[in-house]
Amino acid sequence: MKKLLTLFLFLVSIHETIIVSASAVQGGPLAPSLSPVSSSFSSPVYASMSAFSPGFQLGSEEHKKKDPPKKMLIALILACSSLAAIISSLFCLWVYYNKNSHKSTRNDDAEKGTGLTPFFGKFKPTRTVSKESNTSFMDYKMLEKSTDKFHEGNILGEGGFGCVYKAQFDAGTFAAVKKLDCKNQDAEKEFQNEVNLLCKFKHPNIISLLGFSSENESRFIVYELMHNGSLETQIHGPSQGSSLTWDRRMKIALDTARGLEHLHEHCNPPVIHRDLKPSNILLDSNFNAKLSDFGLAVNDAAHNKNNLKLSGTLGYVAPEYLLDGKLTDKSDVYAFGVVLLELLLGRKPVEKLAPAQCQSIVTWAMPQLTDRSKLPDIVDPVIRNTMDLKHLYQVAAVAVLCVQPEPGYRPLIADVLHSLIPLVPMELGGTLRVTQAAAP
């Protein structure tokens, strides 16, 4: 705006110069003598005419006699031309100013985007790159300090490309830091894919991304810390599911279904997780479940255009994907059915019977899940006889539908969600009244 005002004053000075020059050409002194009537008239055209013609007064007969009409016409043309030049210049400057202002705004917005291609050598420590999720590119030294140089005592879990560490920052806050060894292209792609997706998600049943970093061939993803670890640790770890009551297990199933429903129904395009399993379902201090590990996730539009390499975990991969490479949202539903069986039975998805022989939980449980006389006997001993049998039969029926060999026979995750809501107490996010719940 200061530049705009400066140019305006400059153009006004040019206007005055033109007036003075015109008066000099006419040979008359520049000494206007306006009558009271003309001085009260606000038109700049009339003011300029008075300046060009000494003694000019609006409606003055004497002026008409002294100044011929030709001189008046020249004065009027020069004044109007000068005024038009000023207005035109100001308009051009205004357009230029606004264009640059919008361009600057677009550049600022571009710097706040979530694209990951250029960030490794560009972003500064703790610089926000996603306005929606407040995701920041973090300083590696800060992560190193917060994890005690990635000490093995801070390891929370291990994955295919690295470990997850517990981190404590100077502000007294805690987080989980996944360290990925990205020496190969697959690990690099998974890292970029996960950060890109988590920047877009904002759902209570999907893990929150706090930041990311890089150092040489290592990549780091920083999440919110989930104090009760993974569902796999709770079921198959040292406690053997002792902290998971029937109601908590149903709540975890419901939370997981809600997270998947957000991916399948509310993301545009829909997202397929592709690696749903208990180790990727994390539990906070209140046993609220959140989906994590989106390195293998794909959107429903992209996977049809690209030949995806078969990925997943044995025991959770749907038959049609394993045999024919056909991937749909029903593949996630199959994996959810296996997780639901683990919650019911307390068994792993694949168990060894002999050195060269394994048995799937689906193959083993399917005949007994549909037999009401046998079903109570195969339930996890930790929760056996603690639930309403009617609810047990309903959950078993949902699990059976989810693990059907033909994807067309499996329900949508939205239908699964609606089936589970009435089985979870109201205080845990369902619609079941406490008076209807069975006594433990």
pLDDT tier, 399 (very low <50, low <70, confident <90, very high otherwise): very high
Residue 229 region, left (φ>0) first, then alpha (ψ -120 to 50), else beta? left
∠ Cα 332 289 168 (to 5°): 120
Over residues 316-327, the mean pLDDT reads 94
Fold of the domain spanning 231-436: Transferase(Phosphotransferase); domain 1 (1.10.510)
Q: How confident is the model at residue 10 (pLDDT cuts 50, 70, 90)?
A: low
Q: Is the pTM of this model over 0.85?
A: no
DSSP assignment letter at 304:
T
Summarize pLDDT for 91-138 with one digit per residue, the tens.
666 656 555 544 444 344 333 333 333 333 333 444 444 444 456 789
DSSP string, 192-255: HHHHHHHHH---TTBPPEEEEEEETTEEEEEEE--TT-BHHHHHHSTTTTTT--HHHHHHHHHH
List the one residue out of 351, 342, 417 whose CA is nearest residue 383: 342
Question: Hey, which of 9-23, 53-67, 92-106, 163-177 has the most confident mean pLDDT?
Answer: 163-177
Q: What does CATH list as the number for 131-224?
A: 3.30.200.20
Is 310 a residue whose pLDDT tops 60?
yes
**Selection from 263, 255, 239 nearest residue 287 by Cα:** 255
Q: Kindly tell me if the per-residue pLDDT of 47 is higher than 70.
A: no
The one-letter amino acid code at 307 reads N
DSSP string, 129-165: EETTTTEEEPPHHHHHHHTTTT-GGGEEEE-SSEEEE
Taking 50 as the threshold, does the pLDDT of residue 271 lie above it?
A: yes
Contact 46, 83 (CB under 8 A): no
Nearest Cα neighbor of 191 from 168, 169, 159, 147 is: 159
Asked which of 68-82, 133-147, 225-239 is least confident by mean pLDDT, the reply is 68-82
Q: Of 143, 137, 110, 141, give the one whose Cα is nearest residue 121.
A: 137
Residue 258 C-alpha from the chain's centroid: 18
For 210-248, write each residue's pLDDT tens digit. 999 999 889 999 999 999 999 999 999 999 999 999 999
SS3 call for 262:
helix
pLDDT digits (tens, 9 = 90+) for 164-210: 999 998 878 899 999 998 888 888 999 999 999 999 999 999 999 99
Question: Could you tell me the sign of the dihedral formed by the alpha carbons of 18, 23, 29, 32, in that order?
Answer: negative
Q: What are the residue ranges of CATH 3.30.200.20 in the chain?
A: 131-224
Residues classed as catalytic: 275
Q: What is the pLDDT of residue 121?
A: 35
